[in-house]
């Protein structure tokens, strides 16, 4: 009996690892950044939290949680073309949520954004991508 339970555990772990890797998209499926001349403080956003932030296949993966569940919601990632002089350089990105929804369920969502705009920096020592208004950041480099 113990052997059967152990085998089920091993098989189920193997299946979940394969499906998790299959869900990460290549960079052609990632959304593009939105450019803005506005100050980030002028852009309104509904509340969300960043659960995880990492880069895979030149794509910024942002896993978020927010309150909603019964209406439409839309995320956009903004870049204002301001680069901090540091080594490596740093840039602030703003993730904006437009959640037209009064429901209170906790929704978790995976977002993917194309980083091709920063490829030159990634090839030349990297760039730190900081999420404005949070402590979340990640270094993009090759």
Q: What confidence tens digit (pLDDT) does each residue in 102-117 have? A: 888 999 999 999 999 9
Residue 59: how many CB atoms within 10 A of its CB? 22
Q: What confidence tens digit (pLDDT) does each residue in 65-103 have? A: 999 888 889 999 999 989 999 999 999 999 999 988 888
| 23 Cβ contact partners less than 8 Å away, ≥ 6 residues apart | 110
pLDDT category of residue 10 using cuts at 50, 70 and 90: very low
Query: What CATH number is given for 30-140 in this structure?
Result: 2.60.40.2370
Beta strands 105-114 and 34-35: pairing type? unpaired
Are 68 and 109 contacting, i.e. CB atoms less than 8 angstroms apart? no
pLDDT at 31: 96
Are 66 and 97 contacting, i.e. CB atoms less than 8 angstroms apart? yes
The residue among 74, 130, 129 whose CA lies nearest residue 64 is 74
CA angle 99/109/141 to nearest 5° reads 115
Beta strands 137-140 and 127-131: pairing type? antiparallel
- Tokens at 9, concatenated: 């555990």
Of 63 and 101, the one with more pLDDT: 63
Does the pLDDT value for residue 11 go beyond 90?
A: no
Residue 122: how many CB atoms within 10 A of its CB? 18
| pTM (two decimals) | 0.77
pLDDT at 16: 27
pLDDT at 38: 86
CA angle 118/78/112 to nearest 5° reads 70
Does the pLDDT value for residue 55 go beyond 70?
A: yes
Kindly list the domain boundaries of the chain, sorted by start residue: 30-140
Mean pLDDT (whole number) for 14-37? 60
Which range in 34-38, 72-76, 127-131 is most confidently predicted, on average pLDDT?
127-131
């Amino acid at each position: 009996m113990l052997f059967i339970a152990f085998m089920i555990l091993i098989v189920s772990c193997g299946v979940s690892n394969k499906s998790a890797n299959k869900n990460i998209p290549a960079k052609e499926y990632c959304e593009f950044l939105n450019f803005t001349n506005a100050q980030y403080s002028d852009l309104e956003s509904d509340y969300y939290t960043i659960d995880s932030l990492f880069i895979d296949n030149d794509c910024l993966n942002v896993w978020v949680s927010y309150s909603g569940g019964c209406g439409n919601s839309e995320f956009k990632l903004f870049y204002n073309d301001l680069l901090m002089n540091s080594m490596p350089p740093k840039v602030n990105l703003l993730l904006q949520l437009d959640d037209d929804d009064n429901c209170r369920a906790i929704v978790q969502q995976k977002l993917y954004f194309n980083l091709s705009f920063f490829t030159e920096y990634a090839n030349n020592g990297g760039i730190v991508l900081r999420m404005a208004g949070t402590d979340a950041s990640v270094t993009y480099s090759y």
